[in-house]
């Protein structure tokens, strides 16, 4: 799909995977628990988020 400008962040553009057709994503059930459709995730990823900085990016208090 290429590079697309996406919101505020450390980069002006991010590479976004091709998105599935609308209505084609469905949750799945494993051991009685609803889980995301693996074909439809993760969507867009940020290269600014790494395993080493999760606590300062995604897992920080207050969102």
Give yes or no for a contact between 18 and 1, defined as CB atoms under 8 angstroms apart. Answer: yes
Alpha carbon distance 36, 27 (integer Å): 5
- Residue 3's beta-bridge partner residues? 15
Mean pLDDT of the chain: 76
Alpha carbon distance 62, 31 (integer Å): 31
DSSP letter, residue 40: G
- Per-residue pLDDT of 6-33, as tens digits, reads 555 666 777 777 778 888 989 999 999 9
Alpha carbon distance 1, 9 (integer Å): 20
| Cα diameter, the chain | 41
Q: What is the pTM of this model?
A: 0.37
């Amino acid at each position: 799909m290429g590079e697309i400008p996406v919101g505020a962040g450390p980069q002006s553009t991010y590479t976004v995977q091709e998105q599935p057709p609308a209505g084609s994503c469905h949750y799945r059930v494993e051991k009685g628990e609803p889980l995301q459709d693996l074909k439809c995730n993760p969507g867009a990823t940020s290269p600014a988020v790494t395993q080493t900085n999760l606590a300062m990016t995604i897992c920080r208090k207050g969102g």
